[in-house]
């Protein structure tokens, strides 16, 4: 009897253990693991500065752009040859159409300089005559240099270099008197451009003068246009000077004069 009780007790214990094992479940390794995502907080650290590409300069008109582009070249020519930067810029603006004219666009020729003894590239353009030959440059700066050489190497413009470099009005009038342009209003046009765009400031900056329009002292010299019947002697008497002095300041070797010729005389 006691043996039977022991067998029943052992069987009961075995059954109980088997039942407990059946309740315990193991995690299936093949099931996907679902992770809980935490909300992402906005970044609170300061943002890095954004590099903004510099925009191109904005100009009110083509003339302002022209001046800004070529002002340093004109000033450099003034240093080397003594021609006021204001005059060079005004002539360039007027003769190239502020850089929009055909010669300036196609040939970098800003002053309408014709071929003459030119051996470089050429362009043909209607001017005084149809299909005239003009110089063609690789860069506009060479056009500015030829302009300086044109004025400084020709005898008829020699008197201009005795004028004050900041006296743009006399330079403008002198160019017309020396035959640079046939337009009667050429001096007025140059002066108007110089004063409208304050081109005189580029002269004054090099000369160490104030950048404003101050009343210039009257030049100690003036220009005289030779008329019919004039001689060096009669002109010298009129201006209380001598024939020798007139010859010297005008680079004259003799006494011959031409009607319309411009002379620099003492006031």
**pLDDT tens digits for range 200-219:** 999 999 998 754 444 444 44
How far apart (Å, rounded) are the C-alpha atoms in residues 54 and 51? 9
Q: Inform me whether the pLDDT recorded for 84 exceeds 80.
A: yes
Class of domain 221-266: alpha beta
62-207 belongs to CATH 1.10.530.10: yes
Q: Inform me whether the pLDDT recorded for 266 exceeds 70.
A: no
Q: Inform me whether the pLDDT recorded for 170 exceeds 70.
A: yes
Tell me, letter by letter, the H, E, C secondary structure of 159-223: HHHHCCCCCHHHHHHHHHHCCCCCCCCHHHHHHHHHHHCCCHHHHHHHHCCCCCCCCCCCCCEEE
Read off the pLDDT of each residue in 101-112 and give the average, rounded to a whole number: 95
pLDDT at residue 44, rounded to an integer? 43
Total-model pTM: 0.62
| Residue 197, φ and ψ in degrees, nearest 5 | -105, 10
**The two structure tokens encoding residue 215:** 């009343």
Q: How far is CA 205 from CA 68, 92, 218, in A?
A: 15, 20, 21
Mean pLDDT of the chain: 80
Q: Inform me whether the pLDDT recorded for 161 exceeds 90.
A: yes
More confident residue, 256 or 99: 99
**The two structure tokens encoding residue 72:** 């340093």
Read off the pLDDT of each residue in 173-187 and give the average, rounded to a whole number: 90
pLDDT band at 172 (very low <50, low <70, confident <90, very high): very high
Give the whole-number percent of the chain exceeding pLDDT 90. Answer: 47
The predicted-structure confidence for 125-144, as pLDDT tens digits, reads as follows 887 788 889 999 999 999 99
The domain limits of the chain are: 62-207, 221-266
pLDDT band at 11 (very low <50, low <70, confident <90, very high): low
pLDDT at residue 124, rounded to an integer? 92
Q: Inform me whether the pLDDT recorded for 196 exceeds 90.
A: yes
């Amino acid at each position: 009897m006691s043996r039977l009780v022991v067998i029943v007790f052992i069987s009961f214990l075995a059954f109980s253990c088997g039942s407990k094992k059946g309740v315990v479940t193991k995690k299936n390794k093949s099931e996907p693991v679902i992770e809980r995502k935490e909300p992402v907080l906005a970044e609170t650290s300061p943002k890095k500065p954004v590099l903004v590409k510099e925009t191109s300069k904005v100009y009110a008109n083509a003339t302002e752009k022209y001046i800004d582009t070529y002002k340093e070249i004109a000033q450099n020519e003034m240093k080397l040859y003594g021609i006021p930067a204001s005059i060079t810029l005004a002539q360039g603006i007027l003769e190239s159409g502020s850089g929009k004219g055909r010669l300036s666009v196609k040939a970098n020729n800003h002053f309408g300089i014709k071929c003459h003894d030119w051996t470089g590239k050429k362009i043909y353009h209607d001017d005084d005559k149809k299909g005239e030959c003009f110089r063609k440059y690789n860069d506009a700066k060479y056009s500015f240099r030829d302009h300086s050489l044109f004025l400084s190497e020709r005898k008829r413009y020699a008197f201009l270099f005795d004028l004050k470099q900041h006296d743009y009005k006399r330079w403008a009038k002198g160019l017309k008197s020396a035959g640079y342009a046939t337009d009667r209003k050429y001096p007025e046009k140059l002066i108007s451009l110089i004063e409208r765009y304050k081109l005189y400031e580029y002269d004054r900056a090099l000369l160490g003068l104030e950048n404003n329009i101050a009343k210039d002292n009257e030049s100690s010299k003036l220009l005289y246009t030779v008329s019919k019947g004039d001689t060096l002697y009669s002109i010298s008497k009129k201006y209380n000077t001598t024939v020798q002095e007139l010859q010297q300041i005008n680079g004259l070797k003799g006494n011959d004069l031409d009607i319309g010729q411009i002379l620099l005389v003492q006031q």
